[in-house]
Amino acid sequence: MKYVVIYMRSRVFRNHFDAAIVKRSLREKGVELISAKENFGDGYMGDAMEAITDVVNELQVRLSGEDIKIKMAHKVERGGTVGCAKLGYLNARKDFDGRLVNTIDVDSVRAPLIRWAFEQYSTGQHSIMQLQIMLEDQGLTTRPSSKRAARPLSTSQLAMILRDPYYTGVIRYKGRLYPGRHEPIISKELFLAVQKILDGRNRKGDRDRTHFHFLRGLLYCAECKEAGRDSRLVYSQNTGHGGTYEYYLCTAKQRGLCSMPSVRLDDVEEAVARAVAAEEFHTEELIEIRDQVRHALEEMQSHEQEEKDALRTQLAKLEAQEDRLIDLAADGKLPSSKLRERLEAVTLQKGAVAEKLARTGARIQRGVDRVYASFDLLEKPRELYESLPDSARRNLLGAFFTKLNVLITEDGLHLTSERTEINEAFHEWQTHHRLTSAAHTPTKTKRASRIPAEDPASVPYRLTQSKGLNKPVLVGLTGFEPATP
């Protein structure tokens, strides 16, 4: 080979050092480099012109690079997205004032699945691998291109999505976050909840879960509780000659601290169903709770301003913290990587507080709606529980209980429950209501002995302090019927 033909030197060499090295190497092998678009001639003048051209080409490359960086930074600062749209969004061209403009639209097919993935992972009940399989079953795929067909997400791609704040409506560029013009798919509050779970599972010694059962995370060992330990029951699958056997065992037993035997899954599920049935309320009691919540909502409207003031104070503190971090960056007192992490965290927290401030009133109404929905579940809970699939059963149990303590005795399996705050408030109300009703029921003899020593109406209610009802504004039971003389 005597010649190597190129289109232009600027298409081959990015700097004059590369050009000189390649030219010397080819010359040593007796090969001549020829540019189809450039003719520099022979001799030392030709060599000089080639060298000057290479230097000018390098200068143009650097100038173009700087120009592109500046334009990209300006685009990001104005809220524009750089590059191809993220999964869940689409690149689109829209007509603005007679001019076609590149913009980002929400992908109506993939965006709901991305939102669902964040919501499911925030429950803490799924590993990334399990979530990836569930998304594949629902049909989530990458966007097809001219070179690659659509295909299911990999676990690494899903992990990157769960770490990307772009889906909250912001853009990460050069270690900083900028507000974007694209529509957010999830809230910043949900994103921070997912980050907390991801950070917890990335610690040394921890690993993502490999098996899932809808009771996982709710069952605890009652024997360890009596001994002052807080030990969960872990779900296990063993494969034998007869098939796969499922059971729960205490984590402390694995360390030799507990003597509780393994519990068959069928026995646990039956005990849980009985515990759900025990949560049932009478219809007339549920009607009276509805009336009290309605009165509470009327009182709580006056307290909404206090909560907004508290959120504004918190937002002002975060803004002051952000200013201090910027001052530290100017002084160079913190490493740039640490500073970027702190600034990003403060920016996301500011966004979450701003979101809360914008929806304070709506949150109170949603809290009341959640109360209504919760005691609707209490009318016939076992029938509802047995009609639901496993994933929905988990949500129902989460509305009723924070813990289910399992004890094995000679009589069999016994289960005691620790209710959620709102469910416990309902049952406290039920106890007070029944005691008060009994105290007001006329009897021929021993009426005084049926009146409780402590006036039930004087017991503070926790109903208003649950799930958005954070003010003790419900009146006592004597506010709904005449007090007993």
332 pLDDT exceeds 90? no
For range 213-237, the mean pLDDT: 85
If one compares 125 and 422, the residue with the highest pLDDT of the two is 422
The DSSP H or E segment spanning 1 is: none
Least confident of 351-365, 379-393, 469-483: 469-483
Smallest CA-to-CA distance from 396 within 213, 215, 248, 197 is with: 215
Alpha-carbon distance of 237 to 426, in angstroms, equals 37
Query: For residue 254, with 0-12 CB atoms within 10 Å meaning exposed, 13-18 middle and 19 or more buried, which class applies?
Result: exposed
Residues in the chain: 485
β-pairing verdict for 243-250 and 233-240:
antiparallel
Least confident of 108-112, 231-235, 347-351, 436-440: 436-440
170 pLDDT exceeds 80? yes
- Which pLDDT value is given to residue 448? 47
Domains of the chain in sequence order? 3-77 (no CATH), 89-201 (3.90.1750.20), 283-418 (no CATH)
β-pairing verdict for 412-419 and 401-409:
antiparallel
Alpha-carbon distance of 19 to 349, in angstroms, equals 51
pLDDT in tens, 49-87: 888 888 888 888 888 888 888 888 888 888 888 888 899
- Which pLDDT value is given to residue 362? 62
pLDDT in tens, 239-270: 666 666 788 888 888 778 888 888 888 889 99
For range 354-362, the mean pLDDT: 69
Q: Is 184 in contact with 355 (CB distance < 8 Å)?
A: no
- Which pLDDT value is given to residue 471? 45
DSSP string, 97-110: TTEEEEEEEE-TTT
Alpha-carbon distance of 188 to 414, in angstroms, equals 42
If one compares 373 and 133, the residue with the highest pLDDT of the two is 133
> What is the overall mean pLDDT for the chain?
79
- Which pLDDT value is given to residue 119? 92
Q: Is 374 in contact with 426 (CB distance < 8 Å)?
A: yes
Residues of the chain above pLDDT 70, percent: 80
Distance of CA 177 to the CA centre of its chain: 19
pLDDT in tens, 272-297: 999 999 888 887 877 887 777 777 76
Q: What is the CA radius of gyration of the chain?
A: 33
Residue 232 — φ and ψ, nearest 5°?
-85, 160
- Which pLDDT value is given to residue 111? 93
Long-range CB pairs of 263-270 (<8 Å, 24+ gap) are 263/233, 263/406, 263/408, 263/413, 265/213, 265/235, 267/412, 267/413, 268/215, 268/219, 268/406, 268/413, 268/415, 269/215
For range 143-147, the mean pLDDT: 86
- Which pLDDT value is given to residue 334? 64
| Crossing angle (nearest 10°) for helices 265-277 and 390-400 | 50
Least confident of 97-106, 157-166, 369-378, 445-454: 445-454
Alpha-carbon distance of 351 to 354, in angstroms, equals 5
Alpha-carbon distance of 140 to 87, in angstroms, equals 10
DSSP string, 84-97: SPPTTEEEEEEEET
